[in-house]
Amino acid sequence: MTTRDTIYIRRIRSGDWDALRILRLAALQTDPLAFGSNLRREQESDPQKWKNWATRGSTGTREAIYVAENEAGQLVGMIGSFTEDEQPHVWGLWVHPKSRRKRIGGRLLDQLLGWLASAAPARPVLLEVNPSQEAASSLYAGRGFVRTGRTRPLGHSPPAIVEEMAREPPVTGQSREP
């Protein structure tokens, strides 16, 4: 990897809200069937929504957003997590097409899973993936996620289905003795 290819994985900062907006809109335009939202809805969001989202993702204890940043300071990838009813969920893994095949998605996922291990250590982690997103499905499976058999439709046109995957928390410090 050359110096130009150096990518930093970090938690988003509240001041990154506009870069987050640009990245998310690019994701929805490039890979619309990979996400539960759509481009038009997100384009219509006001700046305060993006500011709030970046702030919660930067400091929250129940949600986080991690980004991949190149040496020029451009965000080229993202992943997020939120907790609902004490259940952690991963959402929105995306890497810009020009930055793919450089293991950035795996680094983003690993960073987020590390954060979740301390934020929600005893809980399984859930995510949803469109089965047509084979690279994402393979990445998740390689990190211990398994299909649960649950699916749901996304309100897209054309219709899309997402499959749920779950990753059990690592077992640590438990004795097998009676």
Q: How many residues does the chain have?
A: 178
The pTM score is 0.86
Q: Where are the beta strands (DSSP E) in the chain?
A: 7-11, 63-70, 75-84, 87-95, 125-129, 146-154, 160-167
Write down the pLDDT at residue 66: 96
The 3-class secondary structure across 112-123, one letter per residue, is HHHHHHHHCCCC
Which tokens hold the place of 70?
């190149």
Q: What is the pLDDT of residues 10-34, one digit of tens each?
A: 999 999 988 988 888 888 877 766 6
Which tokens hold the place of 130?
């469109």
Which tokens hold the place of 118?
């301390």
Model confidence at 1: pLDDT above 70: no
Contacting residues for 73 by C-beta, under 8 A, at least 6 apart: none
Q: What is the pLDDT of residues 98-147, one digit of tens each?
A: 988 899 999 999 999 999 988 877 789 999 998 888 999 999 999 999 99
The domains found in the chain, sorted by start residue, are 3-121 (3.40.630.30)
For 121, the 3-state DSSP assignment is coil
